[in-house]
Structure 1
Amino acid sequence: MHRFFIQHSQIQGKRLYVEGADVNHIKNVLRMKPGDQVMVSDGEGMQYLCALETFDTGRVWFEIVDTWEENRELSSKICLFQGLPKSDKMELIIQKATELGVYELVPMVTGRTVVKLDEKKAEKKNARWNAIAESAAKQSGRSLIPRVAGVMTFSEALAYAKELDVLLIPYEKAEGMEATRRAIEGIYPGQSVGIFIGPEGGFEEAEVEQAMEKGAAPVTLGRRILRTETAGFVVLSMLLYHLE
């Protein structure tokens, strides 16, 4: 069954409406008709089984058939700070990180980042990345859509992460899986977590030291060096297993 996201303000009594790009998708791609049912989430844990009622200017109105609370989110808010990778790898990272339960993604420019984005390109990329997050959230049955923040420098990302409870930075020179195990198992439900992943080529040593000064714990992900698009998934999978 198709799933859509709305704001709570779009619920009006026993009806709700969907707007934006979803209107064209419902009308011209899915070719839905009155009576067809969909799932709708308000991003706050409430789920709605709805039947299509009518098409209006810029909106599709649905009758609410059933309502229940179903929170499919992790008990901790996880923010993935991702060094910008080359090509379209960022799209894959956003899609899969959304499926794994990430709460927010922050693209970063670090010392070894190859990709260069001017302001116009960055805005265009960000719009596409958020659309990918929304699509992945619908497909995976998320209760909310992860936010993809604007591109930050490494220093800006560290400042942005200062309010998070736990910071982890996988680093190829870190040793001892036991330390990684302790770091993961020391996280308890409700704590917010930041994961810093470098681009191709990894972090510079000065960046790791800078992150450690801000409280980040360097961890190893094993004896093999992982690609930038793999490392984040590994940490997210560890946290998903631990928290659920």
Structure 2
Amino acid sequence: MYQFFVEPGQIQGKRVTITGSDVNHIKNVLRMRIGEEIAVSNGMDGLEYRCGIEEFLEDEVVCTLRFVKEDGLELPSRIYLFQALPKGDKMELVIQKAVELGAFAVIPVAAKRCVVKLDAKKEKNKLARWQGISEAAAKQSKRRIIPEVMPVMSMGEALRFASEMDVKLFPYELAEGMGKTKELIGKIRPGQSVAVFIGPEGGFEDGEVEEASACGFVPVTLGRRILRTETAGFTVLSWIMYQLEGDGPESSQLGQPGI
């Protein structure tokens, strides 16, 4: 079942229209035919709209809504991954896998030890590419939303943005005691907002750790081994996904936290 994202306004009663690059993909790459069924999401309400292709126009594909499926594929909490800018193209991998693992948003952070420095032009181009990677990963993993890749923040900006979130995780290589990590993750509940901060290749500076602690973050360990920056985020997100996924009704809806 192929899935496509549309704007909410493209779903009007029983009529659903697909525009943009997906038109060419449906007609000339997938070579789909009238009557075939596709899944459509508007990236907002967590629903899947099952549609049948009705008509091919020059710049749009017209579909008819058959039924709406509400299957709880989204995590019941909003997970924000604050990823310090890594070297090379690692950020692309981080975004792809974070989306697959259920992150609600990814925030690039310019920590002090980050080697990568982006000017305004580079950041604009990077954000466009990163958002495209998020959309592709959302389609592949059958997400009902497209997680936003937000503009790059300084460490201070990121900490202030996350200060009101319900759970704040700050993996730090000098932290000890896996029990504290398990306790914090074990307390995450549906509907909460969760901030996860991941440092750059050289780790966070002591001053950044102190600033995070002052904002209510608790430094935690991810185990006895030192993980690469692109591995650390996957590890935490996997643990959170394991904690939140379940068969009960409380896990079937995307939470609506205040942030």
Aligned partners of 2:123 and 2:145: how far apart in 1?
24
Total equivalences in the alignment: 244
**Residue in 2 aligned with 1:130?**
131
SS of 2:163 mapped into structure 1: helix
Aligned partners of 1:163 and 1:6: how far apart in 2?
31
**Residue in 1 aligned with 2:52?**
51
- Which blocks of at least 5 consecutive residues in structure 1 are unaligned? none
What TM-score comes out, normalization by structure 1 length?
0.96
Aligned partners of 1:137 and 1:149: how far apart in 2?
16
CA shift, 1:179, in A, is: 0.9
Map residues 208-227 of structure 1 onto 2, 5 A cutoff. 208-227=209-228
The farther-off stretch of 105-114 and 13-22 is 13-22
SS of 1:223 mapped into structure 2: coil
Q: Residue 208 of structure 2 aligns to which amino acid in structure 1? A: E
Map residues 151-166 of structure 1 onto 2, 5 A cutoff. 151-166=152-167
The farther-off stretch of 36-45 and 98-107 is 36-45
CA shift, 1:58, in A, is: 2.9
The farther-off stretch of 127-136 and 18-27 is 18-27
CA shift, 1:66, in A, is: 2.3
Aligned partners of 1:21 and 1:215: how far apart in 2?
44
The share of aligned pairs that are identical, in percent, is 57
**Residue in 2 aligned with 1:72?**
73
CA shift, 1:163, in A, is: 2.6
Deviation per CA, 1:59-94, whole angstroms, max 9, x where unpaired?
A: 211111222222211111000000000111111111
**Residue in 2 aligned with 1:230?**
231
CA shift, 1:8, in A, is: 2.4
CA shift, 1:183, in A, is: 1.1
CA shift, 1:31, in A, is: 2.4
SS of 1:78 mapped into structure 2: strand
Deviation per CA, 1:25-49, whole angstroms, max 9, x where unpaired?
A: 2223222222222111123122122
Aligned partners of 1:213 and 1:17: how far apart in 2?
49
Map residues 1-244 of structure 1 onto 2, 5 A cutoff. 1-43=1-43, 44-244=45-245
The farther-off stretch of 206-215 and 43-52 is 43-52
Q: Residue 48 of structure 1 aligns to which amino acid in structure 2? A: Y
The farther-off stretch of 155-164 and 127-136 is 155-164
**Residue in 1 aligned with 2:251?**
none
SS of 1:163 mapped into structure 2: coil
CA shift, 1:231, in A, is: 0.3
CA shift, 1:57, in A, is: 4.5
